[in-house]
Amino acid sequence: MKFCDECGSMMKSGEGEDHWVCDSCGYEIGREDEDDEWTTESQVESEIVDVSDAEDKGLPQTTAHCPECGNDRAYWYMQQIRSADESETRFFVCTECEHKWREDDH
């Protein structure tokens, strides 16, 4: 997908598919070989969040009941684990035993 440098609209392949054309303003630009490379979900590496030293990372704390040890304080962070059109998931890490759970794991 290519966006117009002039107006920001989505561009389409022009005749012969050797250039991009903006339907909104008519701006044209040549296509490069890199433009044909597509990234699929399987090619994207997900980031692994190491929470073993959560206190040192400055994560915010909240009141949350740990299902493992019963402690009432936890660090929390948000992470996108589903597709982009769905909301993020909130994860908690117990301040005492470092047990990790999701907000919806009740």
DSSP codes of every residue in 8-46 = -PBEEE-GGGSEEEETTT--EEE--GGGG----GGGSPP
Structure tokens at 17: 């598919």
95 among annotated binding-site residues: no
Residue 91 annotated as binding site: no
Torsion of CA 50, 106, 103, 92, to 10 degrees: -40
7 annotated as a binding-site residue: yes
52 is in an annotated binding site: no
State yes or no: 43 annotated in a binding site: no
- Is 17 assigned to a binding site? no
Q: Is 58 annotated as a binding residue?
A: no
For 74, the enclosing helix (H) or strand (E) is strand 73-79
- The answer to the question of whether 34 is labelled as a binding residue is no
Binding-site positions read: 4, 7, 22, 25, 66, 69, 94, 97
Binding-site positions for Zn(2+) read: 4, 7, 22, 25, 66, 69, 94, 97
